Amino acid sequence: MNRHEIRKEIFKAVFMNEFHDSQEMEAVLSNFLSGRDSAEEEDLAKNNRSAEDEEYIKTKSEDIIDHLTEIDEKINSCVDGWKTSRMAKVDLTLIRLALYEISIENLPVGVAINEAVTLADEFGTDNSASFVNGALAKLVKEK
């Protein structure tokens, strides 16, 4: 898998956290990575995930989830007029992912924002890409 495909899978895994209890997430993530339903099996075959890819997706997803409180504090303190509780879940997950990559992994800002905007175009609403871009620009400026 290339970096974009891996990032997309991490986004999906972190997004699922919004709908599951923290005690369930390990099983949910395991099911997601094993591709137990037919749609996931198609994705698995299409993306051709290696064992290394799956381990990376699992590790990074869990680490992002572990840092959510810290990440959300940054978001809530910088994005005027919006709190994480009011944001669309797709947009919020993409902002969290990019902020994690910038703050924790020290990924170049432009790369993280570009990837988040690209995924917002794919998974979000018509306004998601501009919202994610604006929120991340504000967060990076405040960093």
CA distance linking residue 25 with residue 3, whole number of Å? 23
CA–CA distance, 48 with 137 (Å, rounded to integer): 34
Statement: residue 31 has pLDDT above 80:
no
Are 61 and 98 found together in one domain? no
Shared domain check, 84 and 135: yes
- Predicted model pTM: 0.84
Structure tokens at 62: 């869990």
- Sequence length of the chain is 143
pLDDT given at position 45: 47
The residue segments making up the domain with residue 122 are: 68-142
Q: Which of 60, 58, 50 is nearest to 105 (CA)?
A: 60
Residues 32 and 82 occupy one common structural domain: no
> Mean pLDDT across the stretch 55-74?
93
Q: In this predicted model, which residue has the larger pLDDT, 120 or 48?
A: 120
pLDDT at 47: 54
More confident residue, 38 or 110: 110
pLDDT of 46 reads 47
Say whether pLDDT at 61 is over 60.
yes
Is there a single domain that holds both residue 47 and residue 109? no
**Mean pLDDT along residues 112-119:** 97
- Whether residue 113 is predicted with pLDDT greater than 50 in this model: the reply is yes
Number of folded domains that form the chain: 2
Do 65 and 14 contact (CB within 8 A), yes or no? yes
Distance, CA of 42 to CA of 52 (rounded, Å): 19
Q: Rounded CA gap, 133 and 106, in Å?
A: 18
Are residue 55 and residue 12 in the same domain, yes or no? yes
36 pLDDT band (50/70/90 cuts)? very low
Q: Per-residue b/e over 28-48, b at no fewer than 16 CB within 10 Å?
A: ebeebbebeeeeeeebbeebe
